[in-house]
A and B are shown apart, each in its own frame.
Chain A
Amino acid sequence: MRIEEHPILDFKRGKEITFFFDGQEIKSFEGETIAAALHAAGVRILGHSQTMHRPRGLFCAIGNCSSCLMVVNGEPNVRICVEKVQPGLRVETQQGKGCLK
């Protein structure tokens, strides 16, 4: 959920754009990370672990921990907490290691 009013901060959001999460259209703003846009849309499960297939979500949000790996435009293992949204981007839940095409 997005914060509309804040006592200290004033959020200047960029141009509205859309991208795709597992085929579904998601609205977002230019300049934000994929992780931020997905959380704003209520998506918390980003992938599943390799061996135990446990759900994975955002943990550090600064590119340190690799908990947020997803497939972006066909490329697996992208840390979506440090990758910006772009119009028409295809973001998919990753299963296991992912494979390079």
Chain B
Amino acid sequence: MSEVKDIEILIIGGGPAGLSAAAAAADLGASVLVLERDGKLGGQLVKQTHKFFGSKKQYAGDRGFQIGDLLIGTCENNSKVEVWSDTTALGIYEDGVVTAERDGKHLKIKPKKIILATGASEKMIAFPNNDMPGIFGAGAVQTLMNVHGIVPGKRVLMIGAGNIGLIVSYQLMQAGVEVAAIIEAAPAIGGYLVHASKIRRAGVPILTSHTIQEAYGKDSVEGAIICQLDDKWQAIPGTEQDLKVDVICLAVGLSPLTELCFQADCQMKYVPELSGHVPLRNDYLETTRPGLYVAGDVSGVEEASSAMVEGRLAGISAAFSLGYGKDLAPKLQAEALAELSELRSGPAGQKTLQGIRKLMDKGEALC
């Protein structure tokens, strides 16, 4: 029988949320183990080359990968934090045992508290030939370009003019790839106008009220047919355009990676404002399974800034429940809660707040 590893707090996922949770819990004195399925810590941050917005406290002005390096540094230099990278968490069992895989080996961990910070996965949209090679999620294009230094192709059609679509288009241009157009089904650009104007200045059209009708090509993408939509989101005949592109990049949103929450029997609810099924949780991010916390995109897709604060809040709360930081923890929790409300005071934050209200509203059906 394989050995069971005992630990006070187990954190699943080493992105901004998980790393912030680890540092916060360890600072209060708890022993922490972080599992990360990738070889490198940092989650989505490691591929983000643009400067962040927000307040100085959330590292505004720094580039994503620099923030990632900073968080990785704080964890690596903390003797209370152990990191297992290349390790995928597989299951959370009724008796509290968490199983994981590394190098083909099956590992068992028995934590006192668990913080889930698994992030999110990319959404897909339906159109003929959407399964063809050459169609990538925006995150994949970022990984290829900014982590491996490899361009995905020569000419790209970007779908989605939210922040991710805009930022990745700009990054493609920085890498020397042509962006044929950015199309957006909604009548307005969803992302920040600073990003949009940089792209327009470079001569790339951003076509709102436009969608993709189909992709075509022999074995992989050779082009796409796009068309205009009317105010009822129906295709307007005669507006079709044929774009010769070898890459179609989808930036149509993310959905929380909640398999482990389902498996751990957390009560879940579908909340569109939070981008999918998310676990019910209290103000301190503890789910309906006692001792299991969530933080970051897994608790509702938002931003790295809020993921870091949520991580800190979950880390403090888990450590506090184990008896650490008796005097300090409540003050730190209040600070983190105040920071979250400040972050969510803008228009995008209103959507999250509405989502959280819906999530915690007792009246609706649960699954």
A and B form one complex: yes
Chain A positions near chain B (C-beta within 8 angstroms):
1-3, 6-9, 11, 13, 32-33, 35-36, 39-40, 44-46, 49, 54-65, 67, 81-82, 84
B127-167 interface code vs A (CB 8 A; 1 in, 0 out): 00001111111011001111111111000000000000000
How close is B86's CB to chain A, nearest CB, in angstroms?
A: 9
CB pair B133–A45 under 8 Å, yes or no, is yes
A84–B39 touching, CB < 8 Å: yes
The CA-CA distance from A57 to B176 in the complex, in Å, is 22
Q: Which residues of A contact B144 (CB under 8 A)?
A: 35-36, 39, 58, 61
Given known pairs A3-B175, A8-B63, the reply for A64 and B135 (CB within 8 Å) is: no
**Would you give the shortest CB distance from B156 to chain A, in whole angstroms?**
13
When C-beta atoms are compared, the residue in chain A nearest to B146 turns out to be A9
Q: How far is the CB of B158 from chain A (nearest CB, A)?
A: 15
Note all chain A residues with C-beta closer than 8 A to B145: 3
Q: Can you list 21 contacts pairing A with B, beta carbon distance less than 8 Å?
A: A1-B151, A2-B149, A2-B150, A3-B149, A11-B148, A11-B149, A36-B144, A40-B148, A46-B133, A55-B219, A57-B134, A57-B136, A59-B137, A60-B122, A61-B136, A61-B137, A61-B140, A62-B140, A64-B257, A65-B122, A65-B137
With A36-B144, A62-B139, A64-B121 as known contacts, state yes or no: A13 contacts B133, CB within 8 Å: no
Q: Check A62 against B149 for contact (C-beta < 8 Å).
A: no
- Shortest distance from the beta carbon of B198 to any chain A beta carbon, whole Å: 13
* Neighbouring B residues of A44 by C-beta, 8 Å: 133-134, 220
The residue in chain A whose Cβ has the minimal distance to the Cβ of B257 is A64
Q: Which of B39, B121, B150 contacts A65 (CB 8 A)?
A: B121
A1 and B145 CA atoms in complex are apart in Å by 10
Given A57-B134, A57-B135, the answer on whether A6 and B174 have CB atoms closer than 8 Å is yes
> Would A59 and B175 count as touching, CB distance under 8 A?
no
A8 partner residues in chain B, CB cutoff 8 A: 49, 63, 174
Cα(A81)–Cα(B92), bound, Å: 25
B76 contacts chain A at the CB level, 8 A cutoff = no
Scan residues 24-76 of chain B and give those whose CB is less than 8 A from a CB of chain A.
37-39, 49, 63
- Please judge, given known A-B contacts A3-B151, A32-B148, whether A82 and B133 are in contact too, CB under 8 Å: no
Q: In this complex, what residue of B is CB-closest to A33?
A: B148
How far, in whole Å, are A63 and B38 apart by their CA atoms in the complex?
A: 9
| Interface residue count on the B side (C-beta < 8 Å) | 32
Q: Could you say which residues of chain B place their CB within 8 Å of the CB of A56?
A: 131, 133
Are A58 and B140 in contact, with the CB atoms below 8 A? yes
Cβ–Cβ < 8 Å partners of A57 in chain B = 132-136, 220
Sample of 5 more A-B contacts, CB < 8 Å, known A59-B137, A60-B140, A62-B143:
A2-B150, A13-B149, A55-B133, A56-B133, A57-B132
On chain B, the residues within 8 Å of A13 by CB distance are 149
A9 → B minimal CB distance (Å): 6
Tell me which residues across on chain B come within 8 A of A82, comparing CB atoms: 37-38
Which A residue's beta carbon lies closest to that of B88? A63
Q: Which chain B residue shows the least CB distance to A52?
A: B131
Minimum Cβ distance to chain B for residue A15 (Å): 15
Q: Mark B173-198, 1 if CB is under 8 A from A, else 0.
A: 01110000000000000000000000
A residues in contact with B49, CB < 8 Å: 8-9
Is B152 within 8 A of A39, CB to CB? yes
Q: How far is the CB of A35 from chain B (nearest CB, A)?
A: 8
- Residues of B close to A63: CB separation below 8 A: 37-38
Report which of A3, A45, A55, A61 forms a contact with B176, defined as CB distance below 8 A.
A3
Most-contacted residue by chain A among B135, B144, B257 (CB, 10 A): B144
In the bound complex, residues from chain B placing their C-beta under 8 Å from that of A54 are 131-132
Q: Looking at the assembled complex, report how far the CB atom of B294 sits from the nearest CB atom of chain A, in whole angstroms.
A: 18
- In the complex, what distance in Å separates the CA atom of A44 from the CA atom of B37? 24
**Minimum CB distance partner of A84 in chain B:** B39
Interface hits, B309-353 → A, CB 8 Å: none
Q: Which 9 A-B pairs have the closest CB atoms?
A: A57-B133, A61-B140, A11-B149, A36-B148, A61-B143, A44-B133, A64-B121, A3-B149, A40-B150
Tell me the minimal C-beta distance from A53 to chain B in angstroms. 11
**A9 partner residues in chain B, CB cutoff 8 A:** 49, 146, 149
Assembled-state Cα–Cα distance A60/B143 (Å)? 9
